[in-house]
Amino acid sequence: METTEQFRLDIRNWLIANCPESQRQPIIKDQQIWAGRRRTFYCEDAKLWFERMRDQGWTAPSWPTQYGGGGMSLEQAKILDQEMKALGCRPALYDIGLWMFGPALLEYGTEEQKQEHIPKIVRGEIRWAQGYSEPSAGSDLASLKTRAEDKGKHFIVNGTKMWTTQGDKSDWIFCLVRTDHQAPKQQGISFLLIDMATEGVDARPMELINGDHEFCQTFFDDVKVPKNNLVGNINEGWSVAKALLKYERNMMSIMSSIVEKEEGDIIAIAKRYVGLDSNGKLSNNGLRAQLSEHLMRAQGDALSALRLYQQHKSGVIDGGLGLTMKYLSTSEQQHKDELLLAIMGNRGLSWHDQTFSISEKKTVKNWAYNKAHTIAGGTSEIQLNIIANKALQLPV
Amino acid sequence: MSMVLNEEQRLLKDTIDDFLSTNAPTDQLRRLRDTHDDKGYSIILWNQLTELGVPSILMPKEFGGFGFGFKGLGAVMQSMGRNLTASPLFSTVVLGASAIELGGTASQQQALLPTIAAGQLTLALAIDETHHHQPINTAVRLKERNGQLTITGEKVFVLDGHSADKLVVVVRSSGNPGDTKGLSLVLVDSNAAGLQTNRIQYMDGRNAANIIFNNVRVKQDQVIGELGGAHTIVQHVLDRGVIAISAEMLGGCQEVFDRTLQYLREREQFGVKIGTFQALQHRAAQMFCQLERSKSAVLSALSSLDKNSPDISLQASLAKTLINDCYQHVSNEAIQMHGGMGITDELDIGLFLKRARVSLQILGDSDYHKNRYAQLMGY
């Protein structure tokens, strides 16, 4: 049995030998390698790095090797993650399938479904999108109306999904659809996989408050879907969706660790925009205190993440720590964005004009975009409801 | 090192929780408060705690200690916070004994530490000189004339200074207020000639003292550590103290929060439990989030002391700031959610409110620690 330290050393040596220098720089949004039929590489190094990681199965290090995964234990996968972070290696592949859908399919899918979809996710060949929310089903997701009618060998799907991330660039979509209109809300829902190249699927980008078009509204007009694209039993899709939610939280933490690279920078930014006095203190006392408050809260949250990990590892889980994380980290991100704007003053007020630098524009756009954090994946208010009822056992 | 307790520490925690909830409930604090008890803590309880080994919890094994470490201490402090237990543990063991352990000579350690472990000696740290904690600004002088050291000046708000057997006094032997160089630590008997002690009773029932030093004579063997070079020791003692008091506050904060939740589950108005109201549920959930975040910081800080991490000071300021703000917020909400009964002395909620405010000031309020955090982070 290989010791943990030897394993760590082997991983580190492999990464040093195989990760090109250009792929050890902090990741920029435009240079992320997203999965899919229309996958592109902005440079040769990125392609090389992706292919090397893919061939090891390390795009999905803890998935079984029979589906192309890395076959690592969770502990080993964490070591890989730690070593990649320590060396500054960029994530080799980005995909919702990799973070959320794949783990759920491994848990709930048929052998045939796993054989068909998992290897393509590991190899980054298919980009997955999520089809949950609808124009009139947001926080109250179970009121969704998109329906799939049983036509014997296939379903016919009609309806519309909102907030399909990069829907126009995605290949497949996992959807919640209504298959029984008579049953109580949550009991008539099924979990269905739809190839977005099918006739009748149309993903139309929506413009957001930051000028971007990351999300689509996706329309389904008499779309024919084979029966074996159903995951789990008919009318039991809600439990699959709930299982997937826990992976969504993992995804949030992956996403936040990607952002982490910039985290320390807020101090440098504050020094640059506010300046230091002769004692080496930020010239603006109010901003200095606000900066400490933000950094302390953020450090507290990072320690909570570590504590949660240690709890799981030791098997001593006390109470609802995990339930607090989404609410806290998303609110804190918004505090940080507001603080960045305050620090930048008038230089934090636009992403249009050439007066502003690229990073200034990016910061302001993120400030606007990150308003979504406390809404997407369960609004803050829903999180508080869950905490009150589950962790605090307050009466309903 | 983990923020989760190991088997041994969990056992210690359960023992202390059981013991304190039986032997030192809030009633005891009320009695000490209302009778203006001379010491401000129960001698009987301190003797019992000594039998359980509490004063030796940190002490190295060679001085009769148990070596449970800071996570063990943290469990005891949290339990004391939950029960509002008054005891000499903080002043004597966390502050006083730490100064001797970290800065004392072998003979000072031999002479004092086993006596402390046996519950026979109490100490107090005399450091502050104004109503705000600002240790670097120490101005009280240790003067030397013809080989004779003397202290003249006043130390204020010395925790447990009214009852301690000896004082560990932070003085300036050279330099000016604001200098890190020139700080010294001296050990002074509380009945030394020229020393005048005025007791202060705080609103939470705990005690402190203003202490005037009038030409108090100090011998060489009363100096702890190097003359003029005590800054590092003082810092380390204060970091231990900041983290330990944060653990006590965490316990108190959790207790007053739990009691409030229980009230929300039981109290009825408009024909329903008030805990069904979303306005209250969300505020309770927000408190829980803040409490869990603070808890992570406190547990991590305790663990950083056990590991002797390089960032202990940063973690100390982080923990104190987060738990300061949390305890302040939660104790206010606790009063509000208990309605009219919350502002009566009959309920214990007010006792937690007052303990929160007093402990907020101990070894630095949030402004002090935010500023220190900023300095340590270099901005």
The percent of residues in chain A predicted with pLDDT above 90, rounded, is 80
- Average pLDDT score, chain B: 95
Residue contacts between A and B (CB atoms, under 8 Å): 125
What CATH number has the domain bearing residue A146?
A: 2.40.110.10
With bands split at pLDDT 50, 70 and 90, how would you rate the model's confidence at B5?
Answer: confident
Rounded mean pLDDT, B353-361: 98
Claim to verify: residue A343 and residue A298 sit in the same structural domain: yes
Reported as a single tens digit per residue, the pLDDT across A336-358 is 999 999 999 999 999 998 899 98
Backbone Cα Rg of chain B: 21
Claim to verify: residue A57 and residue A145 sit in the same structural domain: no
> Which residue, chain included where needed, has tokens 């947001």?
A138
Using the predicted structure, report yes or no on whether residue A148 has a pLDDT greater than 70. yes
Among A323, A380, A387, pick the best mutation site for testing chain B contact (most B Cβ within 10 A). Answer: A387
Q: Does residue A272 lie within any of the structural domains?
A: yes
Q: Do residue B373 and residue A292 have CB atoms under 8 angstroms apart?
A: yes
Rounded mean pLDDT, A388-394: 96
Answer yes or no: are the C-beta atoms of A103 and A122 closer than 8 Å. no
Residue of B nearest to A290 (CA): B370
Q: Does residue A324 lie within any of the structural domains?
A: yes
Q: Which domain holds residue A387?
A: 264-391
- Is the minimum CB–CB distance between A382 and chain B shorter than 8 Å? no
Which tokens go with B63? 């001085």
* Chain B residues in contact with A395 (beta carbon < 8 A): 265, 273, 275-276
A68 in the Ramachandran plot: left (φ > 0), alpha (ψ -120 to 50) or beta?
left
Q: Do residue B377 and residue A395 have CB atoms under 8 angstroms apart?
A: no
CA distance A192 to A181: 16
Using the predicted structure, report yes or no on whether residue B294 has a pLDDT greater than 60. yes
Residue of A nearest to B280 (CA): A388
Q: Does residue A118 lie within any of the structural domains?
A: no
- Minimum-distance CB partner of B284 among A310, A328, A394: A394
- Is the minimum CB–CB distance between B281 and chain A shorter than 8 Å? yes
**Amino acid at the residue A70:** G
Which tokens go with B221? 């063997």
With bands split at pLDDT 50, 70 and 90, how would you rate the model's confidence at A251?
Answer: low
With bands split at pLDDT 50, 70 and 90, how would you rate the model's confidence at A264?
Answer: very low
Q: Does residue A318 lie within any of the structural domains?
A: yes
Claim to verify: residue A379 and residue A286 sit in the same structural domain: yes
* Chain A residues in contact with B316 (beta carbon < 8 A): none
Q: Do residue A321 and residue B3 have CB atoms under 8 angstroms apart?
A: no
Claim to verify: residue A232 and residue A275 sit in the same structural domain: no
Claim to verify: residue A57 and residue A8 sit in the same structural domain: yes
Residue A253 pLDDT = 58
B119 in the Ramachandran plot: left (φ > 0), alpha (ψ -120 to 50) or beta?
left
> Which residue, chain included where needed, has tokens 């570590």?
A306
Answer yes or no: are the C-beta atoms of A368 and A210 closer than 8 Å. yes
Q: Do residue B276 and residue A394 have CB atoms under 8 angstroms apart?
A: yes
Q: Do residue A387 and residue B288 have CB atoms under 8 angstroms apart?
A: yes
Residue A137 DSSP class: B
- 3-state SS, residue B227: coil
Among B292, B304, B326, pick the best mutation site for testing chain A contact (most A Cβ within 10 A). Answer: B292
Residue A263 pLDDT = 43
Residues 305-364 in B contacting A (C-alpha not used; CB under 8 Å): 318, 321-322
With bands split at pLDDT 50, 70 and 90, how would you rate the model's confidence at A312?
Answer: confident
Residues 325-344 in A contacting B (C-alpha not used; CB under 8 Å): 327-328
Reported as a single tens digit per residue, the pLDDT across B219-234 is 999 999 999 999 999 9
Reported as a single tens digit per residue, the pLDDT across B254-267 is 999 999 999 999 99
Report the first-to-last Cα separation within chain B, whole angstroms: 29
* Chain B residues in contact with A276 (beta carbon < 8 A): 379
Q: Do residue A394 and residue B296 have CB atoms under 8 angstroms apart?
A: no
- Domains of chain B and any CATH numbers: 7-121 (1.10.540.10), 124-229 (2.40.110.10), 232-377 (1.20.140.10)
Domain count across chain A: 3
- Directed axis angle between helix B278-307 and helix A285-314, to 10°? 80
Using the predicted structure, report yes or no on whether residue A256 has a pLDDT greater than 70. no
Claim to verify: residue A83 and residue A136 sit in the same structural domain: no
- Is the minimum CB–CB distance between A254 and chain B shorter than 8 Å? no
Q: Do residue B379 and residue A271 have CB atoms under 8 angstroms apart?
A: yes
What CATH number has the domain bearing residue A367?
A: 1.20.140.10
CA distance B89 to A130: 56
Using the predicted structure, report yes or no on whether residue A394 has a pLDDT greater than 80. yes
pTM of the model: 0.88
Backbone Cα Rg of chain A: 22
Claim to verify: residue A55 and residue A160 sit in the same structural domain: no
| Residue A349: CB atoms within 10 Å | 13
Distance of CA B138 to the CA centre of its chain: 20
Claim to verify: residue A338 and residue A377 sit in the same structural domain: yes
What are the start-end ranges of the H helices in A315-375? 321-344, 358-369
CA distance A283 to A273: 10
- Minimum-distance CB partner of B281 among A270, A321, A385: A385
Q: Does residue A121 lie within any of the structural domains?
A: no
Claim to verify: residue A233 and residue A297 sit in the same structural domain: no
* Chain B residues in contact with A282 (beta carbon < 8 A): 374, 379
Q: Do residue B377 and residue A324 have CB atoms under 8 angstroms apart?
A: no
Residue A260 pLDDT = 44
Task: Write down the ipTM of this complex.
Answer: 0.94
The C-alpha angle with vertex A111 and arms to A108 and A114, in degrees rounded to 5, equals 70
* Chain B residues in contact with A299 (beta carbon < 8 A): 297, 318
With bands split at pLDDT 50, 70 and 90, how would you rate the model's confidence at A150?
Answer: very high
CA distance B179 to B136: 7
Reported as a single tens digit per residue, the pLDDT across B322-350 is 999 999 999 999 999 999 999 999 999 99
Length of chain A counted residue by residue: 396
| Residue B36: CB atoms within 10 Å | 11
With bands split at pLDDT 50, 70 and 90, how would you rate the model's confidence at B7?
Answer: confident
Residue A250 pLDDT = 64
Claim to verify: residue A89 and residue A28 sit in the same structural domain: yes
- 3-state SS, residue A230: strand
Claim to verify: residue A76 and residue A150 sit in the same structural domain: no
With bands split at pLDDT 50, 70 and 90, how would you rate the model's confidence at A261?
Answer: very low
The percent of residues in chain A predicted with pLDDT above 70, rounded, is 95
- Looking at A237, A272, A292, the residue that finishes a domain is A237
